[in-house]
Structure 1
């Protein structure tokens, strides 16, 4: 008999509460989609990389290639990059598909296929950043690990970010890193940066989101900020059996 008044009181209390309607908007989230502190960490890391007088970095790279059938094929490569005073560069990529070496001495760029014994040399601008743009725009050559020169350097790229978030701490190769996540048109990418006075990238993951198969590029880095570098290692010297071939511009190839 005593339960009925309690039930009545409970129903009365519920009746007096404001009703929730399906059309009511959800509570506003004050968290910004682009976290300015995350963007600052990206810019600081890029500025630090560009301030280094010399460095050597190695990276294990995994890349998805999408076939016409839509199937993803994953290839692996080991990459090495040596840079001196941002005026000299040597790069090597040895992978499942091909192996290439690049030599840049501030005057010329040489691309060399060591197993095929072919090489090609073109004139190049004296500034490394200008040379990187010319290699890709004119000749379709992408320098291995060239992302390392570009982080946070272009305001247009920063403005293109739709999301920038801090994910949390993470360990890469035993090193404590901060995990950051970014989103822009057609691309999601994640970056792990060392939690130290010297902010270096530990890992990079790029996901192409405007493709139904969502192919990924993954690079895990190992750094040496005090490498032994000599001027001679940035100029290619052909060996016995090496054959010079011409390098055509991408535009000329497209026209054909």
Structure 2
């Protein structure tokens, strides 16, 4: 039986996908951009494909997450893995996320088979720990959370289903990627009443349920990878949001457990049109 394709690139990338936390549009095949948003050319000359009410709700959520300096949240997710026969098998995971801007991030994860892993970023390095094998890897990478997410997506080519929810540029990123957005309904069956939206980007279709009571935070997300064979889905439910936790930088630092072995990191070097290298050329950490 085939496991999740984006979780088995290598021992490191398998663990790095714990970091895969975080975007509708949120399937970030394109990296978060430093450039200003560009207008999207629309095929439909009649009605706007972006519903104003839905955009207001989505923008309010994006602004809230982008401007929040620290938060914690628990994410219970499931995702399809398309087998060679075409059958879809669903796997699950639970993540506990702590974010402390500008440069602190910790993600503790447990997969449905019980495997546990940890990813931290402290502004100096990305650390990945596999608890079952008691091994860890580190990539020296100074900067902000935005820089770390961009590096994972663009240079390491790790698929991060919800990556945009972590970056401070979230409102602009959504504006760049959205092709359509509709307001579906007011959903009264979620944990709290939510505004149910549905949208499309070039790579994914997504639905998101945003709380109408209290801060406008996501309660549920569904992403369909329409360009992948079998159009697999990623589904996530959010709980235990805290927008003002007591987080100290020391809590986000990584300290290898006794006996943990450090393993090398293999990083793909991308080639530009002239044949030279582009992006990172780091090898095994020293």
Name the residue aligned to 1:221. Answer: 238
Helix, strand or coil: the match of 2:193? strand
Name the residue aligned to 1:26. Answer: none
Extract unaligned runs of 5+ from structure 2.
Answer: 1-45, 271-282
Task: Work out the number of aligned pairs and report it.
Answer: 225
Of 71-80 and 153-162, deviating more is 153-162
Is the counterpart of residue 55 in structure 1 residue 91 in structure 2? no
Extract unaligned runs of 5+ from structure 1.
Answer: 1-29
Is the counterpart of residue 188 in structure 1 residue 205 in structure 2? yes
Is the counterpart of residue 251 in structure 1 residue 269 in structure 2? yes
Name the CA distance, whole Å, in 1 between partners of 2:227 and 2:168. Answer: 22
Name the residue aligned to 1:3. Answer: none
Is the counterpart of residue 232 in structure 1 residue 253 in structure 2? no
Helix, strand or coil: the match of 2:237? strand
Residue 111 of structure 1: how far off its partner (Å): 0.5
* Aligned pair partner of 2:87 in 29, 49, 71: 71
Is the counterpart of residue 128 in structure 1 residue 109 in structure 2? no
The structure whose RCO (Cα within 8 Å, separation 6+) is larger is: 2
Is the counterpart of residue 81 in structure 1 residue 102 in structure 2? no
Name the residue aligned to 2:219. Answer: 202
Name the residue aligned to 1:24. Answer: none
Helix, strand or coil: the match of 1:132? helix
RMSD: 2.6
Name the CA distance, whole Å, in 2 between partners of 1:140 and 1:93. Answer: 20
Name the residue aligned to 1:38. Answer: 54
Q: Which is higher, the Rg of structure 1 or of structure 2?
A: 1
Name the CA distance, whole Å, in 2 between partners of 1:172 and 1:57. Answer: 21
Q: Normalization by structure 2: what TM-score? A: 0.71
Q: 1:131 to 1:95 in 2, by over 3 A?
A: same
| CA contact 2:128–2:136 (8 Å) conserved in 1 | yes
Q: Normalization by structure 1: what TM-score? A: 0.78
Name the CA distance, whole Å, in 2 between partners of 1:143 and 1:184. Answer: 15
Residue 109 of structure 1: how far off its partner (Å): 1.0
* Aligned pair partner of 2:116 in 99, 115, 134: 99
